Amino acid sequence: MINIAIVEDNAEERVQIRKCLSYLEETDSSIRFAVSEFSTGTAFLGNYRPEYDIVLMDIDMPGMDGLETARGLRRMDTAVVLVFVTNMAQFAISGYEVDALDFVLKPINKYSFALKMKRAISRTVRRTDDYISIRSEGKTYSVRISSILYLVMEGHYVVYHTTDGTYSEYTTMKEAYGKINRSVFVFANRSCLVNLQHVDAVNHESVQVDGDELPVSRPQRKTFLTAMANYMGGKG
């Protein structure tokens, strides 16, 4: 899943961009998008988190224009792929200032758009290798694996506790563990998977992670302590 943010003040233009994205999904079954829309740069930056792979941004917007918004974006996220979608070709040179990958000129040609998007997608591979997608409360989030503190099973949901907040996903712990696929994640008990990178202290029957006390079960104690010792030894 590729997370896309559309930052465009014109509702009709946002619809057109969505149609172009749908066309790309229809012509390439390996591509799937999760799309969020913002009508102003202020709304986009207001509660920004580095969860997007590609940002499609207009330049000519009221209030905070696209270039100013892009500068704010780069102060928070240097990795996201930025593509301007605009009729203001004269500002193309300014895109280098904010590390824009490309420009899509309006009116949008879906074939040209598809080619540019495939180029943008190819630039997201390294970023998505270090992220996982989490479906929580009707939205799909791209979450940095290293930001995950621990996971706990609550009913039919896995709750991801991260440095940026919590996400509840309707899934199994087995599926969540397979999605993360990192040796630094070790089970403290059957319902709790801990990122050793964030462990503050280990006690006889519990482990402290970012101030939270998590129980270490008796069957898991030896495995967990051995993994912790190996991890600390590997750090020197």
What percentage of the chain reaches a pLDDT higher than 90?
Answer: 62
Burial state string for 79-95 with b = 16 or more CB within 10 A and e = fewer than 16: bbbbbbbbebeebeeeb
Boundary (domain end) residue, out of 78, 107, 128:
128
Amino acid (1-letter code) at residue 9: D
- What's residue 24's pLDDT? 93
Based on the domain organization, do 71 and 141 belong to the same domain? no
Same domain assignment for residues 11 and 76 = yes
Same domain, 75 and 154: no
Number of domains in the chain: 2
| pLDDT given for residue 127 in this prediction | 53
Q: What pLDDT, on a 0 to 100 scale, did the predictor assign at position 55?
A: 97
Question: What pLDDT shows up at residue 142?
Answer: 80
Residue 186 belongs to domain spanning: 132-234
- Answer yes or no: pTM beyond 0.85: no
* Together in a domain, 95 and 160: no
